[in-house]
Amino acid sequence: MNGLVWARRRRTAARFWSQFRQNKAGVFGLVVLALFVLTALLAPVITPDNALSVTRPPGSPLDGPSADFPLGTDRSGRSMVDMIIWGSRVSLTVGFWATFISIAFGTLFGILAGHFGGWGSSLLMRVTDWFLVMPSLVLGVALAAVLGRSLTTIIVAIGVTSWPTTARLVRAQTLAVEARPYIERARALGGGHLHVMTNHVLPNVMPIVLAQTTLMVGSAILTESTFAFLGLGDPTTASWGATIQAARDVGAVSSRMWWYILPPGIAIVLVVLAFTLVGRAIEGVLNPKLRERR
Amino acid sequence: MSLLEVDDLTVTYRTAGGDVPAVRGVSFALEAGQKLGLAGESGCGKSTMALALLRLLPRTARYTGEIRFDGEDILTMSWGRLRAVRWAGASIVFQGAMHSLNAVQRIGAQIAEPIRLHSKATEAEIRRRTGELLEHVGLPARRADAYPHELSGGQRQRVMIAMALACDPKLIVADEPTTALDVMIQAQILTLIESLVAEQGISLLMISHDLSVLADTCDRLAVMYAGRIVEEGPAAAVFGDARHPYGRALAAAFPRIGDPASRRRPQGLAGDPPDPADLPSGCTFHPRCPARLDHCDKLDPRLWPAGDDARAACVHVLPDKGLSLVAKESA
Amino acid sequence: MADSALPTAPVPQLAQSVRDRSGVRRRLRYYGEKLGGSLVSLFAVILTSFFLFRIIPGDPVRTMTHGRPVTIEQQEQLRREFGLDKPLAEQFWSYLTGVLRLDFGDSFQFNRPVTDLIGERLWPTVLLVGTSVVISAALGLWLGVRGAWNHGSLSDRVNTGVALTLWSVPSFWLGLILIVIFASGAGWFPTSGMESTGVEGWERIPDVAHHMVLPLVTLVAVVYAQYLMIMRSSLLDEMGSDYIVTARAKGLRDIIVRRRHAVPNALLPTVTLIFVNLGFVVFGAVLVETIFSWPGLGQLFYSGLSVPDLPLVQGLFILFSAAVILMNLLADLLYPVLDPRVRP
């Protein structure tokens, strides 16, 4: 790729950022996300070594907020603050990996179906339709039940059931891109299928995939918390959903231990909302029709 | 008193990037029963003009000047009065009738809607009137039950015309009424508009990028460029002997009907119309002008008498080519 | 289509009937295709459920009894019951015919036919989910219309913000919070079950309604945002259209332009979404029903999951999927009624 192309891409990126910046909600979402990512990365540094230990917990079980434990302790005597910090790792990991699977499959199949057309494409779209029709949560829950309880299962379940949405979007975008004259030119100049798909279609499909990605991470995190709450996650990971489930199990609801129930839920809402806001902001920049008008 | 008098009208859109002037001081008059053609490239402000006449622009638009219709100023009248003038006083035939008709309503209902609103007719009378209107524009009355997508482009445009006639208006504004149609249909629609307008003594303001179409239909022509009228006069004079280089280019182009390329750029004229947010200094046409003089980027000429009953905004029609004006300004 | 300015001659009777017949054929074809597509999807779901629960884990009996004290004899017994000693094709055939006869086998934990259990639990779910969909659709559409019409205003921004935030809330967590607020404190609303014991006759209606308040609020809160956002953006799209300018040019009041022209057009995509969502919401009720001990299908599914009670989970899996397929089909059939452009 030559310097001219890179210069153009850089300009595009700069323009993108200057438009994104005008969306206050999107910037807010980005800041929240940055904070959560930082927290997740620094979790081992900012929490004590025995933060997650059930056998040597730092405090006594089910204590209310105190100076030592600003949000109290859970049923094993672990600090709720540390639980939330470690939970962000689980949520973000699941969110990113599930989305990665979903986007990778969705983009691959979407571009293939859009590029080649014919009966293979119809078959592929038929399969997508079928996945779309199946309630993904049901399929996910069934998969998780069958494959056993672990983080990987949840990631696979979410990824496998959410790729069809991406595939449809990418296929539509691929068809739109391939209708442009320069694709014709690339073909006339002897560009093969692979060349056209990777050098021309992919760069034009990526922006829409980016918006889709951010929106999807949010819903993947929401789904993860649901799975964890349904008891399908790895019982030993401190996911936010699992923490809420644990709180319910020990009767935090009836004894009104708000510090046990509120924080993990608020954390989920914040992260999901942040992803949603960023995704909408990106969408707004890419699709001026969605931008506020008149 | 003229039926329609537009006096120094400006329309400015307020956007996040600052104010964008779309119409910059337009004045003209239209007598009862007269047909005026307004020509110009896309983006010169002519469609904004059409919508401004009934204050139909989005909320971001700001108006100054006066639009006197039948003696009343449209820009200052109350909302209630304005709604009464809309359609009953002046109606509009929009371009692209596919999108200008509501896709999920039967066309009969859409034609009947303004009649019901502006008259006290009974339902039976309204139904009869709708049928009459359809037959008037050459469609069988039973087509009232059709949906827009069941009609051809030409038929839809006929529906638009029937709709425009529904309340016996004094003025019809036709905004590119034939743009989306092919040549044969275009001619049919133009003939239809011409005959109906003549028959009922309605004034017509027809807007098009196609000077030849306007010259055929209208009594007078006005040419717009960058939000201003740069040439105005009797149709034959403007079309045959334009004094402004832009008017000349438009007339010489004889744009082929239905060819989108000629719509954007008249033949033989380089460059694009200027961005309204970033207009050139002096005469806004000077960067593209084949007859530009050295001082054209300094002097912004206003309309000036140019021949019999015609006016043009060009240094070439000014006494001593406007040099004295430039000298006076710089002094 | 030819554009004719000539007065049209009356259409001959013959031509008319020929056109009608081809129209009928086209319509039949459209409905046939939609119906066929749904049947294919349904078959795919049945196929999936068969393979998902029998093939992937290797030994379904071990999966079923995973973590439960079961003797070898009991496992053998289960294998025979499931016909696992027979060839795969034969197994599938008996499974398929069973499903078609609505026979999903017996539940492990209840020792009763899954079909009976589903029959008992169906109506509470339909009541809860149906009511929630009606309310959230009405609320979402109303707020969406208002938002689009005054878009950019303070109330629009607040409404959109609230909706997006509520959309990000996990429904189970919101339910728990509501219980914390209402359980021991005010006691305004019951937090568990569908009816109080000892209430008979007509008294049951207000009693059930009273029990339904909290689950309903939870479901509506997390669902209505979608309708709001779709309606809002769809109406914003319509408001920029040319026919809206036409309607305003006719001298109609803004409120009439909105009600008569913009909203009916903007409703088209939204209605489809509501129908498609309806199928999913049934499953979405799993969490809410579990939290509030609402005796519906969702709670049944949860109890099936925690055992795990595979015949039960399998039956509900098919039922939930079938609900989505059915709603998609209904949306496909309803759309031409609403939009003359896609009328076959």
Mean pLDDT of B243-271: 66
Residue C5 has pLDDT above 50, yes or no: no
Nearest to A274 by CA among A18, A20, A27: A27
User: Could you tell me which chain A residue has the CA closest to the CA of B57?
Assistant: A294
CB contact under 8 A, A294 and B16: no
pLDDT along chain A (294 residues), means of 10: 74 83 89 92 80 72 74 78 87 90 89 81 78 67 70 83 83 80 75 79 79 83 86 78 86 79 92 91 72 40
At C65, is the pLDDT very low, low, confident or very high (cuts 50, 70, 90)? low
Mean pLDDT of C6-10: 36
- Chain C, residues 286-305, CB within 8 A of chain A, namely 286-287, 302, 305
C-alpha distance from A277 to closest chain B C-alpha (Å): 21
Query: B55, B74 in Cβ contact below 8 A?
Result: yes
Q: Which residue has the higher pLDDT, B278 or C127?
A: C127
C-alpha distance from B105 to closest chain C C-alpha (Å): 8
Residue B129: partners with Cβ closer than 8 Å, 6 or more residues away = B112, B115, B121, B166
Q: Neighbours of C (≥3 Cβ pairs closer than 8 A)?
A: A, B
Give DSSP secondary structure letters for A247-265: HHHTTTTTTT-HHHHHHHH
| Closest partner CB to C52 (pick from A137, A142, A277) | A142
- Domain range list for chain C: 30-196+206-342
Nearest to B109 by CA among B153, B144, B155: B144
| Closest partner CB to C249 (pick from B87, B149, B153) | B87
CB contact under 8 A, A294 and B60: yes
- With contacts defined as CB-CB under 8 Å, which chain B residues touch A18? none
C-alpha distance from C321 to closest chain A C-alpha (Å): 5
Q: How far is CA C128 from CA A239, B182, C123, C214, C219, in A?
A: 30, 57, 8, 11, 9
Residue C250 has pLDDT above 90, yes or no: yes
Query: B206, B174 in Cβ contact below 8 A?
Result: yes
Q: Label residues B38-50 b or e (16+ Cβ within 10 Å = b).
A: bbbbebbbbbbbb
Residue B116 has pLDDT above 80, yes or no: yes
Structural element, H or E, at residue C294: none
Q: Which residue has the higher pLDDT, C182 or A84?
A: A84
Mean pLDDT of chain C: 81
Write out pLDDT tens, residues B44-63. 888 899 899 999 998 889 99
- Domain range list for chain A: 32-44+76-293
- Chain C, residues 240-259, CB within 8 A of chain B, namely 241-243, 245-253
C-alpha distance from C124 to closest chain B C-alpha (Å): 38
Nearest to A88 by CA among A135, A38, A124: A38
Mean pLDDT of C267-278: 78
- What pLDDT score does C10 carry? 38
Q: Neighbours of B (≥3 Cβ pairs closer than 8 A)?
A: A, C
Residue B19 backbone class (left: φ over 0; alpha: ψ -120 to 50; beta: rest): beta
CB contact under 8 A, A269 and C287: no
Residue C64: partners with Cβ closer than 8 Å, 6 or more residues away = C78, C108, C308, C310
Residue C4: partners with Cβ closer than 8 Å, 6 or more residues away = B138
Nearest to B275 by CA among B26, B14, B13, B22: B22
Which is the CATH superfamily of the domain at A32-44+76-293?
A: MetI-like (1.10.3720.10)
Q: How far apart are alpha carbons A2 and A12 in whole angstroms?
A: 16
Mean pLDDT of B146-169: 90
Residue C51 backbone class (left: φ over 0; alpha: ψ -120 to 50; beta: rest): alpha
Omega cis (within 30) before C295:
no
Q: How far apart are alpha carbons B226 and B275 in whole angstroms?
A: 8
What is the CATH T-level fold of the domain B4-31+40-77+213-272+280-330, as seen in this structure? Rossmann fold (3.40.50)
- What pLDDT score does C9 carry? 36
Does any CB of chain C come closer than 8 Å to the CB of residue B87?
A: yes
Q: Is the ipTM reported for this complex over the cut 0.90?
A: no
User: Could you tell me which chain B residue has the CA closest to the CA of C338?
Assistant: B104
Q: What is the CATH number of domain C30-196+206-342?
A: 1.10.3720.10
Query: A89, A43 in Cβ contact below 8 A?
Result: yes
Does any CB of chain B come closer than 8 Å to the CB of residue A126?
A: no
Percent residues over pLDDT 70 in chain B: 94
Write out pLDDT tens, residues B80-94. 999 999 999 999 998
Helices and strands: H and E segment counts in chain B: 12, 12
- What pLDDT score does C54 carry? 66
Residue C112 has pLDDT above 70, yes or no: yes
User: Could you tell me which chain A residue has the CA closest to the CA of B58?
Assistant: A294
Reported pTM: 0.80
C-alpha distance from B298 to closest chain C C-alpha (Å): 39
User: Could you tell me which chain C residue has the CA closest to the CA of B113?
Assistant: C250
